[in-house]
Amino acid sequence: MNTIQHALEINNGKAILLSIKKEWLDKIMAGGKVMEVRKTMPWEIGHPFVVFCYETKANGGAGRITAAFICNDIEKLDCLREFPDCIASSKLLAMTAQFVEKSCLTFEQLLNYGNNVGTLYGWKVTEPYAINMQLSDFGVKRAPQSWQYVTVSTWPQK
């Protein structure tokens, strides 16, 4: 867990709390999903940073923070440029193909999610750890809709 401690230290205790469904978190923990696709990205934090994963209650999820990972880079996908070309040519362009492969999403899922946003952000997932924490451990009353910043004053897990 030294990597988590290091990432927290270089960001002055600032981290990300991310809501994620059980099915996607299971793929991250198994090592198959190495990119988490979001419509936004954090601007107030530097790489590498810690992402604490709140497993939503949907589909039998735990309703608590069950994992953390290190994000050491974020890829950008220009949906307005790439998606029309993928549809017109019936084949995926390089960046879109990379997002599909690394995120475990189909092109249709990616298209439906990012069709009207302009840019999608692929948070690179490294070093996932299983943890067991509550939202209250971060002073948070309810899970974020997508993600939010949190501050971690101490990291007791070793």
pLDDT of 1 over the 80 cut: no
For domain 2-76+120-151, give its CATH number from 3.30.1490, 3.10.129, 3.40.50, 2.30.130: 2.30.130
111-157 confidence digits (pLDDT tens)? 999 988 899 999 999 999 999 999 999 999 999 999 999 999 766 65
Please give the distance of CA 95 from its chain centroid, rounded to a whole number. Answer: 18
Classify 90 in phi/psi space as left (phi over 0), alpha (psi -120 to 50) or beta: left
Q: How do the domains of the chain map onto residue ranges? A: 2-76+120-151
71 and 51 Cβ atoms separated by less than 8 Å: yes
pLDDT of 158 over the 50 cut: no
pLDDT of 39 over the 50 cut: yes
67-120 confidence digits (pLDDT tens)? 999 999 999 999 999 999 999 999 999 999 999 999 999 999 999 999 888 999
Percentage helix, strand, coil for the chain under 3-state DSSP, each rounded to 5: 35, 35, 35
Amino acid making up residue 39 = K
* CA dist list (Å): 61 to 7, 14, 26: 27, 26, 10
* CA dist list (Å): 57 to 31, 36, 107, 126, 157: 22, 19, 26, 24, 24
pTM attached to this predicted model: 0.93
